[in-house]
Structure 1
Amino acid sequence: MRRLWYGLMGCMLFLSACTEEKPPSSSGTYSEGVFTINEGVFGQTSGTISYYNRTNGTVQQKIFKQVNGRDLGDVVQSMSFYEDRAYIVVNNSNKIEVADANTFEEKAQITGLRLPRYCLAISTNKAYVTEWGDDGLTGTIAILDLNTHTVINRIAVGVGPEQLLFKDAKLYITHVGGYGTNNIVTVLNTVTDQIETTISVFDKPSACVEDVDGFIWVACAGKVAYLTYPTIDTANSTASGLIRINPTNNAITKTISFGKGKPIGNLIINTANKEELYYSRTSQVWKYHIGTDVEESLFNGSFYGLGFDPVTNYIYAATSVGVNAAEAQRYDTNGMLIDAYTVGVFANGFVFK
């Protein structure tokens, strides 16, 4: 009997040791890496976030659904991180999903938005969201209380507010025009929540970045008219280009025109040196050297989104392939292709940690 008891104890200890030595699962941990925003198909709940692990080169699709067991919603427009939270803007679902930045476990929903586009948190309790309005032509900025996850105020601005840049307690807001056209950058004081001024630029300004000298660069696509799509009606189109703004006095200090019917998009900056702009134009990605005022073509392709990874100094480009799964291509700053991996449908941009 004693021999049997020792045998049973030995088996139990063995099983216990095996259980204790099992390595912990790392599933759901997203403390660093590359995140791709995939809009999905309009009218469906197919918007997703893809995750790329730089260390081992693995890719995970639909990470929010993996963790929470449900879809994000209809048209995942953008995502931003602030401290320990991820703010995922779901445009056609009129909401923001708030998730843990490292695990993507859902924490809250911010509802009651009106075709939201981009969200920018400026403190632990305050964020701003650009909205096109229910009709796509009623531009507003929603102010959020991040403690209660509610909209606490709205500011009427021009049609189609798009991306935001925060500098010196002010927001610089581009206005692409929603379902119409606009040509302004709104300057909003975040202390008073009052509009200080608007700056007239080329038609359809969509993005802005800050350079090494503190100047703000704005990419303007211009209005494109067509004879019979895809043939462009140059005479009735407007010029695209880059605009440089001095935030000290909000004066335009440089204008670069690319001509009519030649839209520019996907403006990003080399965040390592803040001296190089990257953007899409004429089925190519270009690099503009701010110091030397020289533009050079980097690589060819039709891309729906660009991003710059400050960890590897690689340019990420999302292919434009319609309702099929897109591809994220990685390039060095000289335009050499490094590799590529599969992401989601209508991948429009990247966020890096």
Structure 2
Amino acid sequence: MRYFLFIFGLVFLFTSCRKKTENPTPVTINKHGFFVVNEGNYTWANSSLSFYDETNDKFYQDIFYDANAVPLGDVAYSMTIYKDKGYIVVNNSGIIYMVNMSDMKFLGKITGFCSPRQMLIVNDSLAYVSDLYDTRITIINLLTNTISGYVPVGHTTEKMILLSGKIFVVCWSYENLIFSLDALTGNKLDSAITGKQPNSIVADKNGNLWVLCDGGFSGSQYGQENASLWCLNSTNLSEIKHFIFPNIQSSPTHLCINGSYDTLFFINNDIFKIAISEDSLPVMPAIAAIERNFYGLTINPITGDIIVTNAKNYVANGEVFIYNINGLLKKTFTTGVNPGWVEILKN
């Protein structure tokens, strides 16, 4: 919610809550494309879900509303697809909505969260949910779609990945920690200190972890340091190497990796990329922002396309851009407000 302070000053100038209608529109989800989770504005309940149908080259700006004739909620943050179901985490509503992946129809919801961020599914019956404010990771029973327990970690949590039977979790807000859990039991295994505020994590082709840290921000009681990028051994979380961003104003986010798992991408105003074999940070961007407000990023592992979102002024509808592997713009679509998380269909 990087835009919160900006939005607070404008909240009385705009109205955006969308009310229920009685006429949902039938939609069909094809096997190729991606979703964009549009966060909306904090307390405005104007989040939405967009979808690009790659097969038919069609873009649905608000597919959840189209299919269900109800709004998504307050600050949708992430989406996870597992088999025939989609799970949409609505952060400020404290809810995870379940939808049928064939037509986006509402199937149910999981409630009882404080401020959920990401849902990571281990198998047909088990999932974990990170949280911005709760110092526990929530355990979900997917057979009953209820909370079955918690992993008390003593820290708030952000991005998670599953690798070799372990869940690796970064602690972002005012933290400098990564830790691992046994995926089946939830038992804590290892931990390691990184730079301040690790916000994203990926695994490469060698089984190593890469963690991007934004360094905090000026005026924070927690302090600020230069942002950093860390490579860690996934076996014991020992450091392999790390890079320090030279400019204290750098605040990189959205670390992701290509389908070959050998090249990293991230946002630092512009889009940058770096091979995992490199010994220094890139200087020149792969894609220049040019007065655009890059906000979300992912790489299509099948096509190699670079998918990046533009939050504009945090109030107007945003955009999503599709670039080819060489950074040439292919397509642009209008999304909802504050497009962030991009979830690829991997069928």
**CA offsets per residue over residues 195-215 of structure 1, 9 Å max, x none?**
112210000101111111111
Q: What do the CA deviations read for 1:21-45 (whole angstroms, capped 9, x no partner)? A: xxxx973334331110100111122
SS of equivalent to 1:218? strand
Quote the residue 1:252 is aligned against: 239
**Distance in structure 1 (CA, Å) of the matches to 2:305 and 2:184:** 36
Q: Which position in structure 1 is the counterpart of 2:16?
A: none
Q: In the alignment, what sits opposite 2:11?
A: none
Aligned residue pairs, count: 312
Structure 2 counterpart of 1:318: 309
After superposition, the Cα gap between the structure-2 partners of 1:26 and 1:71, relative to the gap in structure 1 and judged at 3 Å, is closer
1:83 aligns with 2:69: no
Q: In structure 2, do the counterparts of structure 1 residues 182 and 47 end up closer, same or farther at CA, with 3 Å as the change threshold?
A: same
- Indicate conservation of the 8 Å contact 1:222/1:261, yes or no: no
**Against the structure 1 CA distance between its residues 192 and 56, is the aligned structure 2 distance closer, same or farther, given a 3 Å change threshold?**
closer
Distance 1:55-1:31 versus aligned 2 partners, 3 A rule:
closer
Q: Is the 8 A contact 1:238 1:261 kept in 2?
A: no
- For the 8 Å contact 1:31–1:102, the answer to whether it is kept is no
Letter in 2 for 1:326: G
One of 265, 288, 300 as aligned partner of 2:274: 288
Give the secondary-structure state (helix, strand or coil) at the position aligned to 1:277: strand
- The aligned residue for residue 197 of structure 1 is 190
Q: Which residue of 1 aligns with 2:125?
A: 125
Do residues 188 (structure 1) and 181 (structure 2) align?
yes
Checking the alignment, whether the CA contact within 8 Å between 2:306 and 2:323 is kept in structure 1 is yes
Work out the percentage of aligned pairs sharing the same amino acid: 28
RCO comparison, higher one (Cα < 8 Å, 6+): 2
CA contact (8 A) 1:74 1:92 kept: yes
Q: Is the Cα–Cα contact under 8 Å of residues 80 and 119 in structure 1 kept in the other structure?
A: yes
Alignment partner, residue 217 of structure 2: 224
Note if contact 2:98-2:106 (Cα within 8 Å) is conserved in structure 1. yes
- Does 2:225 align with 1:238? yes
- Return the match for 1:139 from 135, 140, 162: 135
TM-score, normalised on structure 2? 0.86
Distance in 1 separating the partners of 2:317 and 2:218: 29
- For 2:28 and 2:46, the matched residues in 1 are separated by 20
Does 1:68 find its partner at 2:80? no
Give how far 1:83 is off.
1.1
Q: Distance in 2 between matches of 1:78 and 1:198?
A: 25
Question: 1: distance between equivalents of 2:320 and 2:241?
Answer: 33
**Structure 2 residue 337 is the aligned partner of structure 1 residue 349:** no
Whose strand proportion is higher, 1 or 2?
1
Equivalent-residue separation in structure 2 for 1:255 and 1:305 (angstroms): 23
CA change 1:152–1:300 in 2 (3 A) is same
* Counterpart residue identity of residue 241, structure 2: K
- Give me the whole-angstrom Cα distance separating, in 1, the residues matched to 2:59 and 2:330: 16
Alignment of 1:141-220 (within 5 A): 141-177=137-173, 181-220=174-213
In 1, are the aligned partners of 2:196 and 2:224 still within 8 Å (CA)? Answer: no
Q: What amino acid does structure 2 have at the position aligned with 1:311? A: I
Q: Displacement, 1:247? A: 1.0
User: For the aligned residues, what is the CA RMSD?
Assistant: 1.7
Structure 2 unaligned blocks of 5 or more: 1-24
| SS in structure 1 at match of 2:287 | strand
Please state which structure has a larger fraction of its residues in helix: 1
SS in 1 for 2:175: coil
3-state secondary structure, aligned to 2:331: strand
When the two structures are superposed, what TM-score results if normalisation uses the length of structure 1? 0.84
Secondary structure class of the residue paired with 1:66: helix
Contact conserved, 1:158 with 1:175, CA < 8 A, in 2?
no
Distance 1:170 1:291 in 2: 24
1:223 touches 1:261 (CA, 8 Å); kept in 2?
no
